[in-house]
Structure 1
Amino acid sequence: MTSSVEQARSLERALRGALRGEVDFGTAQRAVYAYDASNYRQVPLGVVKPASSDDVRAAVALAREHGVPVLARGAGTSIGGQAVSPGALVLDLRARFAGVTEVDPQARTARVLPGTVLDSLQAAARPHGLVFGPDPSTHSRCTLGGMIGNDSCGPHSVVWGRTADNVRSLDLLLADGTELTVSGPLSADERAQLLRGTPGRAGELLRGLHALAEQNLGTLRQDFPQLPRRVSGYALDALLPERGFDLARALTGTEGTCALLLGATVALAPLPSRRVLVVAGYADESATAEAVLELLPLRPLTAEGMGGDLVPGGLAGLTGPGGWLLLEAEAGDHARAVERAVRAQGAAVAVVEDPVAQRAVWRVREAAAGTATRAPDGSEAWPGWEDTAVPPERLAGYLRELRELMAAHGLQGTPFGHFGEGCVHLRIDFDLDRPQNGRFRGFLTGAADLVVRHGGSLSGEHGDGQARGELLARMYPPRVIELFGAFKALWDPANLLNPGNLVDPRPFDADLRQPALRRELFPELTLTLVDGARRCVGVGACVTDDPATVMCPSYAVTREERHSTRGRARLLGELLRGDLVTDGWRSREVREALDLCFACKACASDCPVHVDMATYKSEFLHRFYRHRPRPRIHWTLGGLPRNLRLLRALRLGRPVGALARSRFGPLLAWLAGTTRQRPLPPIPARAFTEGTITEGAAGAGSGGRPVLLWPDTFGNHLQPEVLRAATTVLRRFGFRPVLPQGPVCCGLTQTTTGRLDAARRTRDRTLRTLAPLLDADPQLPIVVLEPSCAAELRAPHSPLADRVRTFAELLDEQLDRVPELVAALAVQGKPESKPDSKPESKPDSKPSALVQTHCHQHAVLGTDADRRLAARLGLDLRQLPPSCCGLAGDFGFEPGHEAVSVAAAERVLLPALRAEPDATVLADGFSCRTQIAQLADGRRALHLAEWLERMLPQEPLSDI
């Protein structure tokens, strides 16, 4: 133990002295890099984020001197376990060693660094009308280096081929420091010149590879299955003379076991100007596989299949089919031909021409790797038998026999994948808590034999890794397995590069991550955390490079894996495991990772498996601070509802507000535990519930349908004008707003600070306060203006969930009751203009506004009602791209969060507001309005209720 610790310290010191990039051997970093998207856990020695090729060279040289293996890693989405390696030095090439260095439109090629995310390459190629053909579902985060390492494919490979078909040259670094560039097929003369003219270690390597091929021509020609998606093992048949001694192809798919990538030249293809998506439904996945054979001669751009269980709600307006095909075609004759052929098969058909609607369908397919891990009954399913491929003409039979094999072992799963090339993805409900019961091993060995019997490959893309490496001996004869070992030995004789994969592989049922996270070992409260640690399967939707995304805002700012939803889930798993993170609920590593969690809840909706980090954070903080002092902000802002009521009872609201704006503001911030860099919101003289506007709203007064108006803390005490506006609008729409007969609160501020017992007591008091009203009117709706409160009241544990409506939802449901007012609003609504500024639009145009959607509304409530309401009232609501404003309740007020909070706002929100300085801005969330006011030069954002109030006709209308 001491020697390994000293080795790690020595290597870390040497790396810090030699590299410009980041070096981190800390517990948290090792924990989050111990996982990829597979079933395996392998704890590395440390992590390096190289900033240049020189950093890569130096890191490899130092690792070699210290006898430490090296693992190159991209987005960490490998499903076979090839992106984790025990005791290795991980080189995270995605972090800082990325970029498209050149696009050559004439040659239709691009030069890329290994950490380049695929979507970045596509963005660089698109202006030239070009595209990189292979596009796996992880395109928003997977790297070119990872795609080359695993020979990734994606849905368009049916027309543009695998990564191996699109690599032109590779710049390589060997473990011994040798560098060379290998390219595609060579003529006999070029091959001879290469072998004669290359000096030194590179020349020895090339001649050794040539000799290996020449001495085994028969084996290479006869023992490698010929099918579109053979990725398993090393592509040694690419070294055959008739294949042009194609070293670039032979190295693609070697999973970082032979060489490290410093750069690559890849081929680009012409991008069709317009595409149509034909969605076809069949009886089951086997019928789908049979149907696709008749369609392949039409050369569709995609031929993706999915089992019906993955899309229980249907696709593109179709419901009921047990199997689906997604067939993309060029718009025009090509698309019409595909549609006619599908209809002739008797399939259910939907033709999707709108690009936005197409993207929505593709998101369902891209999320399948995550959604397939949870069955409708809540049971878990796991990778382990992914990416198998057979000749397309054998696919239907293979799927039927695969179903039979699963049933024989008491297993189930839903297939999906690239049916046009015979490639199948499958998540299966293995009992990985108890892998030694024999069923896991028994099924996988039987399934491997089944694939081989159908002339297929264990892997049709994304490589083998630990999941399939041991099974290669069931696919290839012993002589081929020996050649794999000889091939790796020529490249990496010291076995320093990703050892234990492909050659001398670790057992596929070893090193599994699940067994130490058994639910029965933990008390009831901890079960949610166990579920979160297990639920994350590592597909990495939270580490996307897309700026217009809600999940995960803290990762988007820091670019640190431990600040992603995935990284935090991994750390929670290590906390519960206890052998790496050893201090349990007192873990500083977990506390630090969760500290920058915005609790935005976007992961609860945007993560394919719905990892709800906001809930896990609350439960962790509940335990972390048990029997120990809490930060003051947990009592001040975390107890905001009670504190504001107390200030008003003591008539201290205005004095405290004035003090906050005086030179004593920093002192007040220190006392409150908030940052000095951000002013606290002002406290108006009167709360909404204290104002004369509420007379008649508390149950007396004119008629109309009663509705309980929820006086949330933020609206009641800090921005009562919002609740006043809502009262006016509700009355004009024929409602009679009713207020609770006492304080009510959803407990959100206590929940987010981990004071779960207090939050529970708050909710109980609220229910007692509401009981008379709710008992008197079982149909009484509750309209909640603050999205975060509405989301909390809609939570599964809330007995009020079925009654809660957002402001837009309530009006949308009731518009038909007031047609005259609706017509008047649509006619009378006039675009606003500010003094000394130009009008937003022409007088006869629709009233227009930019809309910032609150994160909790995005995650829990949705915006469908807002869109319908706007359409019916003739309003032009332009949704800003989804993103977090960055304030997130108390997050932006907490010391140490200021920079992250501002950076989150700068990603999308603030640039969008600067681009339209005169536009009306709508933001239903108090946090969003506060962030806009404080960071956008005092710009005033409105709640929807305020905007509607301004546009209401002033003259009374009859029959309202």
Structure 2
Amino acid sequence: MRHDEPVTTTLERRLRTEIAGDVAFDAGARALYSADASNHRRVPAGVVLPRSVDDVLATLAICAADGVAVTMRGGGTTIAGNAIGPGIVLDTSRYLNRILDVSGNQAVVEPGVVLDVLRRRIAPDGLDFGPDPSTHSRCTIGGMLGNDACGSHSVAWGTTSDNTDALDVVLADGTRLQLGANTAEEWRQKAAAPTREGRLYADLGAIVDPNLALIRTTFGQFSRQISGYPLHRLLPENGRHLARALVGTEGTCAVILGATLHLNRAPRFRALVVLGYADAVAAAAAAPEIIPHRPLTIEGIDLALVNALRARGRRPAELPAGEAWLLVEVGGSTPAEAADAAASLARLVPGAPRVVTDAAEMRSFWRVREEGAGLATRLADGSEAWPGWEDSAVPPARLADYLREFADLTERYGYQGVTYGHFGEGCVHVRLDFDLVSVAGRDKYGLFVHEAAQLIVKHGGSPSGEHGDGIARSALLADVYSPEAVALMGGFKRAFDPAAALNPGVIVDPPAVNDLIRIAYTPTVLPVNGFAYADDGGEFDRAVRRCVGVGKCRNDHTPGGVMCPSYQVTGEEKHSTRGRSRLLLEMLRGEVITDGWQSDEVAEALDGCFSCKGCLTDCPVNVDMATYKSEFLYQRYKGKLRPAVHYAMGWLPVALRGAALAPRVANAVTAFEPAARLMKKVAGIAQERSVPRFATGGTLKQRLRRRRGSAPKQPRTVLLWPDTFTNFFDPQIGEAAVEVLNAAGFAVRVPSGELCCGLTWISTGQLDVARTVARRTLDALEPHLDAGIPIVGLEPSCLANFKHDLPALLPDDPRAKKLAELSITLAGVLERDAPDWEPPQTDRPAITQVHCHQHAVLGDKPDRALAAAAGVDLTVLDSGCCGVAGNFGFEAGHYEMAQAAGERVLLPAVRAADQDTIVLADGFSCRTQIRQNTDRDAHHLAEVLAGRLRK
């Protein structure tokens, strides 16, 4: 069977029968694994997630029997297209991820171990694994071995190959080998054995020994020469190190089952020196002068990257004057030693460098650098930029000249982009605004990269400096290397994999560089958009295309951020933001997923989306999966009967008005188990979830009407938004907010009428109803909008809806934009308009759960500042989404996932909190999760402040 032929059902049946791991041949799985972080696309026949080494061996044997290709995959974060293949994709990241042993300065790991997991394990011993690509929170060791990953600190500790001591591998034919360094005698003995291993050593010896001069003058000429096969590792002077010779072969020669890694002694404390330059060329020219001072890293960024950050509404750290910068890190055994090293270096360089020793500020610098691969995909003007010529490298002394000529080349082709990278090692990352959609644009791209390859040869460089060649650059190897060197690499591949069964088309016998482009398609399904997608030219497919595959949403191993709670719980690709983006794009393409908006594969994946909006902020390119999910539901059910839960949860604000007429009766009915069980079954609500109790004693609006005459006159006026959840469930929060605002010098108004922000209809995809509700709300608020009165929201989800969703839902109504501008949190209006007000002192510890919509849209800096001013010793839980997430946690079928999300951090932290510790949660969903799963109540910050005012 040829590699491009469909795999028979017999193969699928054998795999399901003979391995314990997950086997998937359905359209959804094939779509999920059709792309990585590159520009390219190859649809596999099927996907296997092995649970053990035996599963890997069995899969290879079955595929070999049927002549089916196998492509290895870790985190799928590669930018070169070397983790996608036409046969079986073998994903080791889910299960083959154990750290088998740590002893002395070595660690033995399985290929699916995430780098940061290893680093956390060895950090208490003062150890680190030196190579640290920017994807360290989700990239796997297997992927790093495949690409010979380097990262920011290779100046100090080298590449992955430099830190690999031994490999446990299996060939495509099932031969298992233990590989490492070899003396000449050891090599001779192995080559003489009458076995498959002996033939391998003999074949490799026949390649290397007659060509020592060619290999010495062609390969391994500088540290970042990653393109091609590292044949220099087999030279006698390099220990004939067959393990290191396999690092960087991109899964084309053998399958890695385990690795013995060399660990480095890491400095305990670090400091940063930030140097400013006129441009990237000047920064590149300065980098080699710093190398002799033995820094840990020398990273370069330019103004375009900083502007891309600013365009996303983020503030970069304070930078010295200039339009390009070097970030130089030094270390020490104590904070003072690290600071002294930084100060000493700063005195030796020209200009006015900044010395940064604060850990949080250093993280802010590194976040800019590490998110470059995502930030650079959208330029400051909103245009799309792509990899392709992503990580070229030259000897550091040649970098400035190379960048100068490269700028001339891009100008001649009319490309613009963002330049950053590992300047201390001569490696440059650049994303350019290639037109990869049109045929003419792809042809132009092909001409450009071949000409860029000639330029890199001129400067003694390599098309790849750390990501490998993959589909993106393998065709350039004939431009870079002599025919004799290319022939040697072909022989190296055949010695390991004579049937070309492993990752075909990579390094050897590649397709054209502008072939297999995933961006090149004509959508078969395009909606009359429910939302405007103003930042994406009004195009839904361009919005979904924001996802370039860097995989930060797969960050389930390292604390920080909200994205992506469903992946954090399940570890399944389809439950990552990236996975859902892939499925939506394949749905639009219509080749693998052929039933458009009616696709059950897409519906299933999106059903697991919490709509938490975490990706809106945490994703480097601001993928907005909550909006895409709403759009999908809108298109899928347009003119059709919807699931019952859409009516129950979507029309909740209307139902609550009826319940408010007799709240005690409503509470009695929902507390009566038989009635509650039937009601939840009919409404599509999870049986395990309790219905929140309705407030008795009046809604918020009713209570405020009763006390209106006692409100003090104040010089400033705000409008308090009576959101559905505060109004019907927690009116005491609104009353508390009024007391706080009055104390701070504000008169408080409340809009009249039955108004709603429309969030519940938006989250269930009932966008036409949401527009009607939103317009009615805008009609009622119009006098307040015209007067410019601040609109204070207490429920983060409703306020985020005002600021983010309604302008996208009503792009032609200027009132929606005005509402977004005037909407503000309680803490925000106090900080902005009452900066001299001194809140009452609490002097108690508190833990707080930041609502995911507040994290994504509003931010919580004013809340932290207000709590601190009130004497609250605040701990902000790094808990992500609480799990309830509006309607998600109430829907049938979601309870287990919602609970698992809550149990990651939030619920254990609340249970463990001392009774004197206040539990803060401004969001109704968060308070509900806490109330229903702990013996503690959760409070809004307004309640805490008002309680102290009353005392």
After TM superposition, the score normalised by the length of structure 1 is: 0.93
Task: Tell me, yes or no, if structure 1 residue 370 matches structure 2 residue 382.
Answer: no
Residue number in structure 2 paired with 1:801? 820
Provide the residue aligned with 1:889 in structure 2.
Answer: 886
The 3 A distance-change label for structure 1 pair 2 and 159 is closer
Partner residue in 2 for 1:839: none
Aligned to 2:185, what secondary structure does the other structure show? helix
- Superposition CA RMSD, Å: 2.0
Letter in 1 for 2:896: A
Give per-residue Cα distances to partners, 1:909-939, cap 9 Å, x unaligned.
11211221422100000000000001113x2
For 1:702 and 1:695, how far apart are their aligned partners in 2? 17
Deviation readout 1:559-589 (Å, 9 max, x if unpaired): 1101110000011101110111111111111
**Offset at 1:375?**
0.5
| Contact 1:373–1:382 (CA under 8 A) maintained in structure 2 | yes
Match status 1:923 vs 2:927: no
Corresponding residue of 2:98? 99
Match of 2:145 among 138, 148, 157: 148
CA contact (8 A) 2:525 2:588 kept: no
SS at match of 2:97: coil
Deviation at 1:703, TM superposition (A): 3.4
Q: Please give the alpha-carbon distance, in whole angstroms, between the structure 2 residues aligned to 1:861 and 1:757.
A: 26
Tell me the amino acid that sits aligned with residue 478 of structure 1: P
CA distance in 2, matches of 1:494, 1:339: 57
- Partner of residue 611 from structure 1, selected from 620, 623, 628: 623
CA distance in 2, matches of 1:674, 1:686: 27
Matched, 1:725 2:736: yes
1:904-915 superposed matches below 5 A = 904-915=901-912
**2:184 is the alignment partner of 1:188:** yes
Q: d(CA) in 2 for partners of 1:855 and 1:144? A: 31
Aligned counterpart in structure 1 of residue 722 of structure 2, from 689, 693, 711: 711
Change (3 A) 1:524 1:751: closer
**C-alpha distance in 2 between matches for 1:677 and 1:516:** 45
1:583-624 Cα distance to aligned partner (Å, 9 max, x none): 111111111000010000000000000000000000100011
Match of 2:53 in 1: 53
Q: Residues 889 and 512 from structure 1, CA distance in 2 versus in 1: closer, same or farther, beyond 3 angstroms?
A: same
Mapping for residues 73-222 of structure 1, pairs under 5 Å: 73-86=73-86, 88-105=87-104, 108-184=105-181, 186-196=182-192, 198-222=193-217
Pick one of 752, 769, 777 that aligns with 2:780.
769
Taking the aligned partners of 1:556 and 1:705, their CA distance within structure 2 comes to: 45
779, 793, 814: which one pairs with 2:788?
A: 779
Which region of structure 1 is more displaced relative to structure 2, 331-340 or 164-173?
331-340
Which moved further from structure 2: 352-361 or 457-466? Answer: 352-361
1:568: which partner in 2?
580
Give unpaired runs (5+ residues) of structure 2: 532-537, 809-815
Letter in 1 for 2:67: G
Q: Which moved more, 1:350-359 or 1:890-899?
A: 350-359
Does the 8 Å contact 1:316/1:350 carry over to 2?
A: no
Q: Which residue of 2 aligns with 1:873?
A: 870
For the structure 1 residues 360 and 622, does the alpha-carbon distance in structure 2 shift closer, same or farther, using more than 3 Å as the test? same
Query: Does structure 1 retain, via aligned residues, the 8 Å contact 2:573–2:579?
Result: yes
Deviation string 1:427-454 (CA, Å, 9 cap, x unpaired) is 0100000144431011111100000000
Counterpart in the other structure of 1:647:
659
Moved more, 412-421 or 626-635: 626-635
Q: Assess, with a 3 A threshold, how the Cα gap between structure 1 residues 696 and 682 changes in structure 2: closer, same or farther.
A: closer
Once structures 1 and 2 are overlaid, which stretch shifts more, 45-54 or 633-642? 633-642
**Matching of residue 750 in structure 1 with residue 761 in structure 2:** yes
Query: Equivalent residue for 2:520?
Result: 515
Structure 1 residues 394-433: aligned runs within 5 Å: 394-433=398-437
Report the 3-state secondary structure (helix = DSSP H, G, I; strand = E; otherwise coil) of the residue aligned with 2:545: helix
SS in 2 for 1:406: helix
- Report the CA distance between 1:652 and its aligned residue: 4.2
State the SS of the aligned residue for 2:874.
Answer: strand
Matching of residues 344-355 of structure 1 within 5 Å: 344-355=348-359
Hey, what does 1:902 align to over in structure 2?
899
Shift of 1:523: 4.2
Q: 1:690 to 1:124 in 2, by over 3 A?
A: closer
Q: 2:488 aligns with which of 473, 478, 483?
A: 483
1:811 aligns with 2:830: yes
Q: CA deviation at 1:165?
A: 0.3
1:71 paired with 2:80, answer no
Partner of 1:311: helix, strand, or coil? Answer: helix
* CA–CA distance in structure 2, aligned partners of residues 697 and 671 of structure 1: 41
Aligned with residue 853 of structure 1, among 845, 850, 854: 850
Deviation at 1:724, TM superposition (A): 1.2
Other-structure match for 1:467: 472
Structure 2 residue aligned with 1:596, among 599, 603, 608?
A: 608
Q: Which stretch of structure 1 is more off in the superposition, 334-343 or 365-374? A: 334-343
Whole-angstrom distance in 1 between the partners of 2:595 and 2:754: 40
Task: Report the 3-state secondary structure (helix = DSSP H, G, I; strand = E; otherwise coil) of the residue aligned with 1:346.
Answer: coil
How many angstroms apart in 2 are the aligned matches of 1:912 and 1:244? 52
Shift of 1:272: 0.4
Asked if the contact 2:374–2:550 (Cα under 8 Å) also holds between the matched residues in 1, the reply is yes
How far does residue 372 in structure 1 lie from its aligned partner after superposition? Answer: 0.4
Contact map agreement 1:921 1:941 (CA 8 A) in 2: yes
Deviations 1:376-403 (A, max 9, x none): 1100000000111101000011111111
- The Cα of 1:698 is off from its aligned counterpart by 8.6
Aligned to 1:958: none
> 1:67, CA displacement in angstroms?
1.2
Deviation (angstroms), 1:690: 4.7
Q: Which position in structure 2 is the counterpart of 1:253?
A: 248
2:544–2:628 CA contact under 8 A, matched in 1: no
Structure 1 residues 277 and 315: CA distance shift in structure 2, 3 A:
farther
What do residues 86-121 of structure 1 show as CA deviations (whole Å, max 9, x unaligned)?
2x111110110111111112xx01100011110111
Secondary structure of the residue that 2:664 maps to in structure 1?
Answer: helix
Q: CA deviation at 1:334?
A: 6.3
Check the 8 A contact 1:886/1:903 in 2, yes or no. yes
Aligned match of 1:500 in 500, 505, 523?
A: 505
Partner of 1:673: 684
In the TM superposition, what are the counterparts of 1:281-320 in structure 2 within 5 Å? 281-312=276-307, 315-318=316-319, 320=321
Cα offset, 1:81, TM superposition: 0.5
Residues in 2 aligned to 1:874 and 1:647: alpha-carbon distance in whole angstroms = 39
SS of match in other structure, 1:743: coil
Check conservation: 1:698, 1:737, Cα contact below 8 A.
Answer: no
Aligned partner of residue 353 in structure 2, secondary structure: strand
State the match for 1:942 in structure 2. Answer: 939
Cα distance, 1:129 vs. partner?
1.1
3-state SS in 1 of match to 2:80: coil
- Is the Cα–Cα contact under 8 Å of residues 699 and 737 in structure 1 kept in the other structure? no
Q: Check 1:254–1:699 CA distance in 2 against 1; reply closer, same or farther (3 A cut).
A: farther
CA contact (8 A) 2:587 2:596 kept: yes
In structure 2, what is the Cα distance between the partners aligned to 1:878 and 1:456? 50
Any conservation in 2 of the 1:532–1:569 contact (CA below 8 Å)? no
User: 2: CA distance between counterparts of 1:619 and 1:421?
Assistant: 45
Query: Which residue number in structure 1 is paired with residue 812 of structure 2?
Result: none
How many residues in Structure 1 have an aligned counterpart in Structure 2? 922
- Partner secondary structure for residue 10 of structure 1: helix
For residues 559 and 594 of structure 1, what CA distance do their matches in structure 2 show?
Answer: 15
Q: For the Cα contact (< 8 Å) 2:561–2:614, is it kept in 1? A: no
> Which 10-residue stretch deviates more, 681-690 or 549-558?
681-690
- Any idea what SS the aligned residue of 1:78 has? coil
Secondary structure at the residue paired with 1:470? Answer: helix
Gap change, CA 1:282 and 1:520, over 3 Å in 2: farther
Taking a change above 3 Å as real, the CA distance of residues 686 and 751 of structure 1, as seen in their structure-2 partners, is farther
Q: Return the alpha-carbon distance in structure 1 between the equivalents of residues 7 and 780 of structure 2.
A: 64
| Residue number in structure 1 paired with 2:550 | 539
SS of residue matched to 2:327? strand
Letter in 1 for 2:51: A
